[in-house]
Amino acid sequence: MIKLYIGNKNYSSWSMRPWVLMKQAGIAFEEVMVRFDSFDEHSKFKHTILPLNPTGTVPVLQDGDIVVYDTLAICEYLAETHPDTKLWPADKARRAQARSACAEMHAGFRALRSHCGMNIEADLSLQGRLILRDQPAVRADLDRIVQLWSGLLDAHGGSMLFGEFSTADAYFAPVCMRIKTFALPVPAAISAYVARVLALPGVEAWIAEALVEKDFVLMDEPYRLER
């Protein structure tokens, strides 16, 4: 069976993407959670992950002798090995657009990711207001997300970005979590999309398991010294 190595569900936005994708698609896998103790080279986390992934990060997918350790590469591998799950849109143009959107998320939105880290169990609405007040780059990232999502929802006329659930929705699920946690203001149509993503069974399952972790990792808590 496929193994997926992930970090703490409360914090690990990159791990969330392939996990949600496989849950939604019904792809069976074994989860291996590797706690974020530290990123020191001698940490248990690095000791576990480095033999699989030379960059020392999660997620990592292991399928027999095949190891894939980039999130977007994992999604592409899953689409290739499970074509029946239709993880990308069937239409060629939509598929190219979906890949472009995922690539933009993969490489971009650095200010939002830096200042608004995923933290599912926290209420950081006050911090969100301060961040938007003080960080123009975060405001620009949020504006671009609203523009991107609005265009895709309008163009494809469904509940998800490309009509039906696809890799793109899994890829942006952690952004939906950030919007909720930091109470970032978005238009009503975008707020409705966020609510639909958070209600997906795969996302609901991830959230539920994140909430029972009760594992406060200080290095992932820039705004709180304790719970």
pLDDT recorded at residue 43:
93
Q: What is the pLDDT of residue 41?
A: 83
For residue 225, the model assigns a pLDDT of 83
pLDDT of amino acid 100 = 98
Distance CA 221, CA 118 (A): 10
pLDDT computed for residue 92 by the predictor = 97
Helix (H, G, I), strand (E, B) or coil at 3: strand
Q: Which strand (E) or helix (H) includes residue 205?
A: helix 201-211
pLDDT number for residue 27: 98
- CA 102 to CA 4: how far, in whole Å? 20
Task: Give the whole-angstrom CA distance, residue 13 versus residue 71.
Answer: 10
* 43-96 residue pLDDT tens: 999 999 999 999 999 999 999 999 999 999 999 999 999 999 999 999 999 999
In the chain, the N- to C-terminal Cα span, in Å, equals: 37
Q: Is the pTM of this model over 0.95?
A: yes
Whether 68 contacts 3, CB under 8 Å: no
Give me the residues of the chain with pLDDT under 50, please: none
Q: Kindly report the CA angle at 124 between 118 and 126, in degrees rounded to 5?
A: 145
Contacts 24+ apart (CB under 8 A), 60-69: 60/4, 60/5, 61/2, 61/3, 61/4, 61/5, 61/18, 62/2, 62/3, 62/4, 62/5, 63/2, 63/3
The helix/strand/coil state of 132 is helix
The token pair that represents 75 in the structure block? 């999604």
Q: Which of 114, 108, 126, 79 is nearest to 172 (CA)?
A: 108
Going edge to edge, which strands form the sheet with 30-33?
A: 30-33, 3-6, 60-63, 66-68
Q: What is the spatial distance between Cα 30 and Cα 47, in angstroms, rounded to a whole number?
A: 20
Query: For helices 188-198 and 201-211, what crossing angle results, to 10°?
Result: 70
Q: What is the pLDDT of residue 153?
A: 98
